[in-house]
Amino acid sequence: MLQEYHSLPILIFYLSLASALAGHACLTIYNRYQTCKSNVQWQSKHSHKLVLFILLACASLASTWFYMFAFFAHSYRSWRGQCTLAQLHDLERASLPMKGELWLRDTKLFKQAWETVSETPERHWWSGQIFLFTIAWSIFLGVMGRRFNIPRVWTYMLLGQVVAISFAQSLFAATVVVSLPRQSQSTSRTGDDSRANGTLWVPPALLELGPVLISLLSAAVVPLVAHTSYFMPVLLIPHLLLFVPGALSPGMLPRGWGKSQPVAVAARRYARVFKWLFAILVVLVAQSTYALTATVEGSLWRRLLSAMSEHPAVSSVSWDVVCCFLVVVSWTAAHSGDVQEMLVACD
pLDDT in tens, 86-141: 888 888 888 888 888 889 988 888 888 988 988 888 898 998 899 899 999 999 99
**Can you give the pLDDT at residue 227?**
75
**Can you give the pLDDT at residue 290?**
83
pTM of the entire structure? 0.88
Is 316's pLDDT higher than 90?
A: yes
**Can you give the pLDDT at residue 188?**
41
Range from 48-52, 90-94, 281-285, 297-301 carrying the lowest mean pLDDT: 297-301
Per-residue pLDDT tens digits for 192-238: 443 445 788 899 999 999 999 999 888 878 777 877 888 888 888 88
The 3-state secondary structure of the chain reads CHHHCCCHHHHHHHHHHHHHHHHHHHHHHHHHHHHHCCCHHHHHHHHHHHHHHHHHHHHHHHHHHHHHHHHHHHHHHHHHHCCCHHHHHHHHHCCHHHHHHHHHHCCCHHHHHHHHCCCCHHHHHHHHHHHHHHHHHHHHHHHHHHHCCCCCCHHHHHHHHHCCHHHHHHHHHHHHHCCCCHHHHCCCCCCCHHHHCCEEEECCHHHHHHHHHHHHHHHHHHHHHCCCCCHHHHHHHHHHHCCHHHHCCHHHCCCCCCEEEEHHHHHHHHHHHHHHHHHHHHHHHHHHHHHHHHHCCCCHHHHHHHHHCCCHHHHHHHHHHHHHHHHHHHHHHHCCCCHHHHHCCCC
